[in-house]
Structure formats: C-alpha cells, structure tokens
C-alpha cells in the first residue's frame, strides 16, 4: 500500500513539473536555444530553475530524488535556515554556535550584492561541463570538448595553465570554500560552498578587512575575484544532497558532487569530467605526479565510491554525459 501511495505522489509531482515545462516551452521556446538562455530570468525567491524531471522513463529513481523546489543559493531573502538543516550543517565542521548566523549573513550581504536582487545573469539554463579534479583527466584530450559548453564549472584548487589540452582553458564558475580558495579572473563566478558559519564570515572578510586568516588551518586573508559575481550555496541545498542523493553515505558530499547536482538543477545539459580514479586505481589530482594516490578517498569525509555510482546512474538515466 505504501509503495502505491509513494508512486502516486511521485507521478503527481512529476506531472506538475512536466506541465510547467510545457507551459514554459509554449511561452518561451525550447530551453536549449541560446536566445532563451540569455533571457531566462531568475525566479523570485528561487535560485535554481531548470526542470529536468521530464522524461517519463526515469520517473521512479530520478524524480524521487530531484527536487525543483529546493533553493540552491543563499540570499538575504531566504537566509533563515530551518533548524533541522542548521543542526546538521553546524556539525559538519564542528561549529557549535550558530547564534550569530543571521548577523553574519547580513554583514556579508552588506558587502556583496544579494543574487536575488536584480542580478539576472548568474544562474541560467545552458550546457554545462562540470570538471572534477581527478588524475584520470591526464592525457584525456578533453580540453576542447570541455570548453565548448556554455558554462564550465571547476572547483577548489583546479588549475588550467599547462593542462589546457586535457582540461580546457575556460572557467565560468569556480566552486570553493576558504581552505581551498584561489584568486579568480574578472569574469568568473566565485561560488562559495559554505560548510560552517565562519566560511560566510571569511568571505565578507576576504573582500574587506582581511581579518580572518585562519579557520581550522591557514586561509587566504584576501581574495581577488569579482564580488558582483559571487554566489553562495544554501546550506539547505547541501542537506538536500546529503538526504536525497548521497543518502548519508559519507559525512557530507564532496565539492565535486555538490557542483554536479547544482549543475543538474541549473543547466539543460550536463557533462561530467574528472571524476573517479585513474586507470591504475589512483585517486590523485590531474596536476599531481600521483604523490598521494588515495588522498581523495582516504579522508573518509566523503564517500567517493557512492558518489561515483550515483554519477554512473545519472549517466545511465540520461541526465549526465559522463566522460571517463
Ligand atoms: O580534491 P578536490 O576536492 O579538490 O577535487 C574536486 C572534486 O573532484 C572532488 O570533490 C571529487 O568530487 C572529484 N575528484 C574525484 N576523483 C579524484 C579527485 C577529485 O572524483 N581523484
């Protein structure tokens, strides 16, 4: 009986999403056209708006997980974090105290423009390449393919200079947290993945006083990046990924997997590069000479195997093109 109820609610949700897509298609034309891509405004109060729950063949597995109502981005308007999310989020890196959070967010948006207020070109539907940092990219010659996407999403200390042939040269969005931060060129969106309140405080500081130079380790006190292009992931979105996608395997999802799910929510077509071990089973980065072969898996914070299985499954369901 329970499975019948579940099936019905899934059908109703996905039917609603499909009708919305048909409505959009009739009113704006196909979502893959570049015209539509430029004109797509952000929805009021919602930060991720590409519906992908449309193919009936994937109703059960994909639609049960994919939630179009979740806010990807943190804004002043949605900064009140539900207590269940807050409790989980504060434990990720052992921040016991969330009492200053609203003040921290307010201070941050005094320095940064809140994405919900007028910035319309930050998250749009288009083709996206999500480039993980795996050593399996070495020798792949995927550079041109990666650069041919509308958006190229990279993360953490990813570098392109000297590796263009394999990883491409363009970056439109760079996902990072304080301990993995790097300076960015003027046209690149910095996307903060906050794992603790201090990360939000650090971002404000890195664009102003530079007073925060240490979290659980030394971090960059100042950051060179275009502050009008900064995006901040919402802790609600991180918890959604942990609940619905990685299903609590791993303490929390990796930056790469978070970026991939973000792309599934915001892009019409997603290609994933640089995930998983190389052909020798090593989990190093493409710019390293394999000094720490198991580094990514060894931390025990993320479940790399589960994440990889999910990417394979997304690929099998036609939601991601997975380049190995
Ligand atoms: O190591 P780092 O977190 O900077 O790498 C970015 C992302 O690339 C990871 O979060 C992970 O999702 C992916 N990755 C991977 N296999 C590796 C290295 C990184 O799947 N060997």
Reply yes or no on whether 323 is catalytic: no
Mean pLDDT along residues 170-190: 96
Q: What is the pTM of this model?
A: 0.84
Q: Is 250 in the pocket of ligand 1 (CB under 6 A)?
A: no
- HEC-encoded secondary structure of the chain: CHHHHHHHHHHHHHHHHHHHHHHHHHHHCCCCCHHHHHHCCCCCCCCCCCCCCCCHHHHHHHHHHCCCCCCCECCCCCCCCCHHHHHHHHHHCCCCCCCCHHHHHHHHHHHCCCCCCCCCCCCCCCEEEEECCEHHHCCCCCHHHHHCCCEEEEECCCCCCCCHHHHCCCCCEEEECHHHCCCCCCCCEEEECCCCHHHHHHHHHHCCCCCCCECCCECCCCCCCCHHHCEEECHHHHHHHHHHHCCCCCCCCCHHHHHHHHHHHHCCEEEEECCCCCCCCCCCECCCCCCCCCHHHHCCCCCHHHHHHHHHHHHHCCCCEEEC
Q: Is 254 in the pocket of ligand 1 (CB under 6 A)?
A: yes
| Domain range annotation of the chain | 2-24+45-277+296-323
Of residues 125 and 268, which shows the higher confidence score?
Answer: 268
Please write the tens of the pLDDT for every residue from 207-241.
999 999 999 999 999 999 999 999 999 999 999 99
Q: Whose CA is nearest to atom 11 of ligand 1?
A: 256
What is the position in ligand 1's atom list of the atom closest to the CA of 157? 4
Q: Band the pLDDT of 115: cuts 50, 70, 90.
A: low
Q: What mean pLDDT value characterizes the chain?
A: 83
pLDDT over 50 at 290, yes or no:
yes
Task: Name the catalytic one among 36, 173, 284, 302.
Answer: 302
Assigned CATH class of 2-24+45-277+296-323: alpha beta
pLDDT over 70 at 114, yes or no:
no
Mean pLDDT along residues 2-16: 48
Reply yes or no on whether 285 is catalytic: no
């Amino acid at each position: 009986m329970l499975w019948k109820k579940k099936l019905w609610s899934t059908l109703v949700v996905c039917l609603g999403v499909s009708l919305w897509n048909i409505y959009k298609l009739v009113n704006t034309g196909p979502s893959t056209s570049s015209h539509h891509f430029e004109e797509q405004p952000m929805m009021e109060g919602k930060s991720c708006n590409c519906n992908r729950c449309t193919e009936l063949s994937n109703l059960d597995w994909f639609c049960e997980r994919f939630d179009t109502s979740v806010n990807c981005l943190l804004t002043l308007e949605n900064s009140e974090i539900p207590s269940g999310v807050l409790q989980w989020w504060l434990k990720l890196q052992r921040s016991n105290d969330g009492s200053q959070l609203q003040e921290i967010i307010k201070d941050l948006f005094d320095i940064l423009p809140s994405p919900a207020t007028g910035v319309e070109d930050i998250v749009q539907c288009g083709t996206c390449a999500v480039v993980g940092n795996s050593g399996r990219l070495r020798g792949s010659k995927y550079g041109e393919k990666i650069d041919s996407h509308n958006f190229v999403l990279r993360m953490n200390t990813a570098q392109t200079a000297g590796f263009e042939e394999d990883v491409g040269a363009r970056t439109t969005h760079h996902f990072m947290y304080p301990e993995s931060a790097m300076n960015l060129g003027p046209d690149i969106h910095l996307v903060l993945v906050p794992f603790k309140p201090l990360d939000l405080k650090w971002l404000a500081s890195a664009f102003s006083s530079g007073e925060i130079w240490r979290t659980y380790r030394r971090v960059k006190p100042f950051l060179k990046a275009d502050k009008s292009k900064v995006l901040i992931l919402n802790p609600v979105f991180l918890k959604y990924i942990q609940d619905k996608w990685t299903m609590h395997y791993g303490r929390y999802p990796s930056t790469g997997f978070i970026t991939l799910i973000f792309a599934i929510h915001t892009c019409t077509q997603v290609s994933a590069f640089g995930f998983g071990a190389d052909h020798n089973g090593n989990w190093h980065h493409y710019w390293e000479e394999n000094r720490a072969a198991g580094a990514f898996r060894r931390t025990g914070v993320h479940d790399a195997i589960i994440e990889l299985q999910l990417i394979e499954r997304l690929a099998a369901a036609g939601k991601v093109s997975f380049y190995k």
